[in-house]
Structure 1
């Protein structure tokens, strides 16, 4: 009976996959492979990124190719005595070239990694468009075998593989640069990424890897989302049942809403354990949880819910159900009624808007392609290929940021080495103020003149950076020369200049590195009068005069402290006598004129009452008449 169920399940599953494929297309994600030598092969070629190992998203890898003389398909392990691919000190990393066929791609990569190879290139065995090398679905592919593959892998065309083999046979060295920098777009300061997953925890190694990834990546994902660096959304793959099979046991046990939304049976057995229907409902519950959490401004709580549900409600403990899920939802403070309303009636013959949107999102748009592999990560509308691990995924997400805008978590020691720590990355640096043009980014350092306290530095970033602006003298003295001696400080930076450095008066030089004191005395620039003496000082000079003379700087001349002449006092006495004589003369004239005036007045008065000697007597009656 179980065998019959399995046959029905496989037939139905194959129909789902084929039907999904006919609606859209699967996109092979690629990166560039550049051959730098020999010259006969030099150029840029396309290669397909393997869906295992750790592609170096955002970076590059340089190595030299080695093709084994035996075990060309790398299906057997390499003995160290026969083939050692570990790079030696000072030597280039080694890329193993293997032929396609006879075993899984992952086994080839695993054997190459154990032999010490830095990467594996698999040459196709037929002339065809490049395909994506994927991990096997068989249950015997143990987690240790799959999850421990770390070397990046790439599938190259048969023609390129043959050309490389011919060059190696001639004794030529084939050097290759694997470039993943443009494998994921990085258009702005925020990364949009999707995680296509499944709530099923009984589907073998891939399910285990999904759960482990969610647990390990949760903290980083929540930091990125809380601070607005990313826009994350989870998604779930579902299929719909063919109309002819809606009433069959297979569809009724694996689908909800009258066959509209289906998922494979976890145990591949319709008669025991959980059914595909249970998986669809839980997927829908997780999708609705995210929808409600996003509406309340806390989309990052999805990571807590999925993590807690996997721990508290596993299938193995028979807790994979609504009751356990509701307890987790309540513990996170979410509105259970809103989530139940979003889920709706799973038995009704109606469309569920959430799952309908999920099915539409599966179909590829633009350069993305269909989502057919679980788990799948999509970064900036491009599918991620490689191991679903914390460091690997973070590296991929960080490569999606526009250069120099990566958050600090992208520059952590777990995934990135700060190149600015080694010789300042070869960039400009002012050691006195610890200013540097070296800026560490996820893709490597860039030499970019800094902005400090609102002040812009301009330059090539490699040999010089110069402060520009009115405030430039306040930061590192505008990059100009300055020095202090004996309590005096001179600077070549001028506040009212927007750029440039000019040595102050008394100095000459470039104003940046040096300003040397000018010896005004030696160069006859000061103290030119005959009696002058000149003493040079730092940044200036001092002039003095010999004897008892005083120096007048305005006229550059010397004058005496005491003015002495032979006729000085004589002139003074003459002036004093003259002034005294003038005073007496003026007084005499004054007295004479006053006295004459008074005499004439007195005579006039007396003439009225008594005649003078030369006048006759005035008759009395005449006087009366005049009265």
Structure 2
């Protein structure tokens, strides 16, 4: 009886038991595959994303198809590290391999080592597509699973047969894998969930979860603090069949009278930690997230707690317990009492509201399937496929934002696609100033006029970009003409004008490619007086008068430096100045006289109110009678 119960509880980890009447539903996540040549194969097909490697979420991959008859299943190495490596200037190679004889992941690993950019596994039977998963019972797989960095997908047998036949006939097959719609991206916020486990003694998968949380914590907190994402941690729990609730096995692995259970960490009921210890820590971590959000508005503290708990309270050090957990909680400024209240009583024969909600959340919502494995990442209600790698997961989350609303972390150098390295991505470029409109993003390159040193370039990004606003002339002179000659520098760029180029005074031209000096002497626009001699200079002119005459540029006239003409000029000038002075003096006297008269009349009026004059007696007497 005990042995039967033990095996039954171990088997609970093989399938999800949420409620007795719900049938588990697994959804196969797809990406699009388009054959672009030859003509008879053109069309769009579906493929099932592999649950390992790095799917190119939000992006595309175009390449040519290769197939090796000698190692069609790719269960052994291809013997050459460049067998499928693309030639210089050529498209990447997408390798088709046959299903069967070995693990999916091993096929992809062998093809990757031979230079493949992606792998398509052709099904060997006519059936609905399945998700290729990583092997769990093969310990040797742990040595290469983490090193698979290319995407893979399962394709239908009919498509696989056509691709292999066409390549075998010596024809070039070109296709494109497209993951842009694999994750919905309806708005400016991404909602994602991470289904995990606090158990740190379950082998490679547990270790992978621990390493992922550590590496992804920074990016997750940046996204959450900026309001770009809404993150929710989740934990899978099982329940104990009613017939075994009172058994030793259920009591050691479950809380709340068999309602919430987890497998024994060591699969040994006589030593180490029990499954119920894992359930309690799972519950505590949910409450850390809940309390941190409700009391401090800092839900991202979950990442700090989980990371610190894994470091400070591991099972191997016998510190996986409440005491160590609450030390971590206190160090983060959280209220341990509130978290205990959130967790509730694990001994009562009643539902736990938090864990009941977790069991209900395991059931698929809408297009999302049930959560049936750990770890599972869900982005915008779609299950992520691929390994738990910081860059790969960040790429998947970033693909969930509406285009052009991605936060800066999604546009960081590590997310670049390097499309700008080839022909500048077809975007505008100023080679002399080393300025380009090409920008690599995780979705591919975009052509957007750049912001350089505070100056915004404007244009379509493909054929033109012009600097605008203040400071534009400091950046490659605003794209305008500029030249230095005879120690003089002239420019067609002016900060007083937001856009455009205009040749300065003394020059003519388009202002962009050239500005030519205007010969004012030839155009008869200067030095027109009869005594003048004109000499053209770069950007201007000089005018000289014959004899001892002096040239006045403002009036374009020559006058004598000395002599009668000069004296007459000075006399006239003095007379004019004297006349101006006399007029000013006369005006001042008139002003003073009028001002004095005005002030006298005002003073008299004021005094009349308090000291009546003789001439006013009669008037005042008459007024008094009226009163």
Range of TM-score over shorter length: 0.7 to 0.9
Partner Cα distance (2:467, 2:414) in 1: 35
Q: Given that residues 67 and 98 in structure 1 are in contact (C-alpha distance below 8 angstroms), is that contact kept between their aligned partners in structure 2? A: yes
Partner Cα distance (2:262, 2:483) in 1: 77
Q: Given that residues 55 and 152 in structure 1 are in contact (C-alpha distance below 8 angstroms), is that contact kept between their aligned partners in structure 2? A: yes
Once the two structures are superposed, what CA deviation does each residue of 1:588-608 show, in whole Å capped at 9, x if it has no partner? xxxxxxxxxxxxxxxxxxxxx
1:319/1:20 CA distance change after superposition, 3 Å: farther
2:196 is the alignment partner of 1:162: no
How many angstroms does 1:207 deviate by?
1.7
SS in 2 for 1:350: coil
How many angstroms does 1:553 deviate by?
5.4
Range that drifts further, 6-15 or 230-239:
6-15
2:199 is the alignment partner of 1:200: yes
How many angstroms does 1:13 deviate by?
4.9
Q: Given that residues 363 and 370 in structure 2 are in contact (C-alpha distance below 8 angstroms), is that contact kept between their aligned partners in structure 1? A: yes
Partner Cα distance (2:21, 2:454) in 1: 55
SS in 2 for 1:372: coil
1:417-566 matched pairs, under 5 angstroms: 427-430=427-430, 435-451=435-451, 456-469=456-469, 478-483=478-483, 489-494=489-494, 497-549=497-549, 551=551
How many angstroms does 1:516 deviate by?
1.8
Once the two structures are superposed, what CA deviation does each residue of 1:429-468 show, in whole Å capped at 9, x if it has no partner? 4567665433343334422113457654321223422234
Partner Cα distance (1:94, 1:377) in 2: 29
Range that drifts further, 85-94 or 539-548:
85-94
Gaps of 5+ in 2: 569-627
How many angstroms does 1:148 deviate by?
3.0
How many angstroms does 1:506 deviate by?
1.7
Partner Cα distance (2:270, 2:51) in 1: 34
Cα RMSD after superposing both structures: 3.7
Once the two structures are superposed, what CA deviation does each residue of 1:214-240 show, in whole Å capped at 9, x if it has no partner? 233334434444555544332111234
Q: Given that residues 98 and 123 in structure 1 are in contact (C-alpha distance below 8 angstroms), is that contact kept between their aligned partners in structure 2? A: yes
1:510/1:43 CA distance change after superposition, 3 Å: farther
Q: Given that residues 120 and 153 in structure 2 are in contact (C-alpha distance below 8 angstroms), is that contact kept between their aligned partners in structure 1? A: yes
Match of 1:589 in 2: none
How many angstroms does 1:513 deviate by?
3.0
Partner Cα distance (1:171, 1:137) in 2: 39
Q: Given that residues 16 and 372 in structure 2 are in contact (C-alpha distance below 8 angstroms), is that contact kept between their aligned partners in structure 1? A: no
How many angstroms does 1:540 deviate by?
2.1
Once the two structures are superposed, what CA deviation does each residue of 1:109-156 show, in whole Å capped at 9, x if it has no partner? 233234443322111223333221112332646422433333321011
1:225-304 matched pairs, under 5 angstroms: 225-226=224-225, 228-241=227-240, 246-247=245-246, 251-268=250-267, 270=269, 273-295=272-294, 296-304=296-304
Match of 2:325 in 1: 325
Q: Given that residues 411 and 417 in structure 1 are in contact (C-alpha distance below 8 angstroms), is that contact kept between their aligned partners in structure 2? A: no
Match of 1:387 in 2: 387
SS in 2 for 1:527: coil
Match of 2:586 in 1: none
2:199 is the alignment partner of 1:211: no
Match of 1:150 in 2: 149
2:220 is the alignment partner of 1:221: yes
Match of 1:615 in 2: none
1:596-615 matched pairs, under 5 angstroms: none
Q: Given that residues 122 and 154 in structure 1 are in contact (C-alpha distance below 8 angstroms), is that contact kept between their aligned partners in structure 2? A: yes
Partner Cα distance (2:126, 2:100) in 1: 14
Partner Cα distance (2:417, 2:93) in 1: 22
1:20/1:307 CA distance change after superposition, 3 Å: farther
How many angstroms does 1:349 deviate by?
3.0
Partner Cα distance (1:85, 1:470) in 2: 53
Partner Cα distance (2:527, 2:81) in 1: 89
Q: Given that residues 427 and 462 in structure 1 are in contact (C-alpha distance below 8 angstroms), is that contact kept between their aligned partners in structure 2? A: yes
SS in 2 for 1:183: coil
Match of 1:603 in 2: none
Match of 1:120 in 2: 119
How many residues get paired?
A: 565
1:252/1:505 CA distance change after superposition, 3 Å: same
Match of 1:343 in 2: 343
SS in 1 for 2:39: coil
1:180-195 matched pairs, under 5 angstroms: 180-187=179-186, 190-195=189-194
2:40 is the alignment partner of 1:40: yes
Partner Cα distance (1:310, 1:244) in 2: 35
Range that drifts further, 527-536 or 26-35:
527-536
Match of 2:313 in 1: 313
SS in 2 for 1:40: helix
How many angstroms does 1:172 deviate by?
0.9
Q: Given that residues 535 and 542 in structure 1 are in contact (C-alpha distance below 8 angstroms), is that contact kept between their aligned partners in structure 2? A: yes
Q: Given that residues 67 and 96 in structure 2 are in contact (C-alpha distance below 8 angstroms), is that contact kept between their aligned partners in structure 1? A: yes
TM-score normalized by structure 1?
A: 0.78
Partner Cα distance (1:18, 1:171) in 2: 53
SS in 2 for 1:324: helix
TM-score normalized by structure 2?
A: 0.78
Range that drifts further, 420-429 or 39-48:
420-429
Q: Given that residues 458 and 467 in structure 2 are in contact (C-alpha distance below 8 angstroms), is that contact kept between their aligned partners in structure 1? A: yes
Match of 1:611 in 2: none
Match of 1:130 in 2: 129
Q: Given that residues 531 and 558 in structure 1 are in contact (C-alpha distance below 8 angstroms), is that contact kept between their aligned partners in structure 2? A: yes
Range that drifts further, 329-338 or 11-20:
11-20
How many angstroms does 1:204 deviate by?
2.9
Partner Cα distance (1:385, 1:120) in 2: 15
Q: Given that residues 9 and 268 in structure 1 are in contact (C-alpha distance below 8 angstroms), is that contact kept between their aligned partners in structure 2? A: no
SS in 2 for 1:151: coil
Partner Cα distance (2:317, 2:31) in 1: 44
Gaps of 5+ in 1: 569-627
Match of 1:364 in 2: 364
Partner Cα distance (2:242, 2:448) in 1: 62
Partner Cα distance (2:390, 2:135) in 1: 21
Q: Given that residues 521 and 527 in structure 1 are in contact (C-alpha distance below 8 angstroms), is that contact kept between their aligned partners in structure 2? A: yes
How many angstroms does 1:195 deviate by?
1.5
Q: Given that residues 508 and 516 in structure 1 are in contact (C-alpha distance below 8 angstroms), is that contact kept between their aligned partners in structure 2? A: yes
